[in-house]
Amino acid sequence: MIEAELKACVHAPEAVTQELEKLATARVEVYQDTYFDSPNRCLDKQDQELRLRTVHGTDGVRTLLTFKDATVDETSGAKPEHETLVADAEAAHAIVKGLGYAPVITFEKRCRNYRFEAAGRAMLATLVRVPEVDGTYIEVETLVAEDDVQAALADVRAVLQSLGIGQDDLTRELYTDAVIARRGERTESLDHPARRS
């Protein structure tokens, strides 16, 4: 299946939250994401992702192993996604490392998830805050067959528009890149104390 998803910056989080609350009850969760790659970064070079995500929610803790293949739609960044629940997070980390992959980055996402139906599709809208990154983001996605990606993305855009999110708010920036950039800024600030002000 393809994850037909669009991500956008949210300039009025409270207003968007109010609109989402009309569609579904929020599921509040904290994600601990670890991305892996080989020493020569073969996954990154092939536009692939390997992730272990531990989700902390009101109903307990679960861990998901996810592989995302190369992008099939350059405008949105839609990718084929394969995901499964794993019973033992520690064992999953050991298996991935044993296969030759090493953690590249680990960071936290604070999420409010809303599941609802729109245009006959099962949609997931997620309001996201990453403590290390400024701002609030929204992701709206639906899983579809490859020949349905463009129509699905049009439906996702319609959902965003109904929430007051415009075309100019869309972004393809990855959380991983934003976190790496912010950590680099902090390191540089520590190296140059005069820049801390």
Share of the chain above pLDDT 70, in %: 95
Full-model pTM? 0.91
Tokens of 132: 């290390």
Averaged pLDDT score across all residues of the chain: 94
Tokens of 135: 């701002």
Tokens of 150: 């463009």
For domain 2-196, give the fold.
Answer: Hypothetical Protein Pfu-838710-001 (2.40.320)
pLDDT of residue 195: 37
Summarised one tens digit per residue, pLDDT across range 56-79 is 999 999 999 999 999 999 989 999
Q: Where are the domains of the chain?
A: 2-196
User: Which among 194, 21, 179, 196 is positioned nearest to 113, based on CA atoms?
Assistant: 21
Summarised one tens digit per residue, pLDDT across range 149-178 is 999 999 999 999 999 999 999 999 999 999
Summarised one tens digit per residue, pLDDT across range 89-100 is 999 999 999 999
Tokens of 109: 């996402």
Judge contact between 135 and 48, C-beta under 8 A.
Answer: no
Query: What average pLDDT score do residues 30-47 get?
Result: 97
d(C-alpha 59, C-alpha 51), whole Å: 22
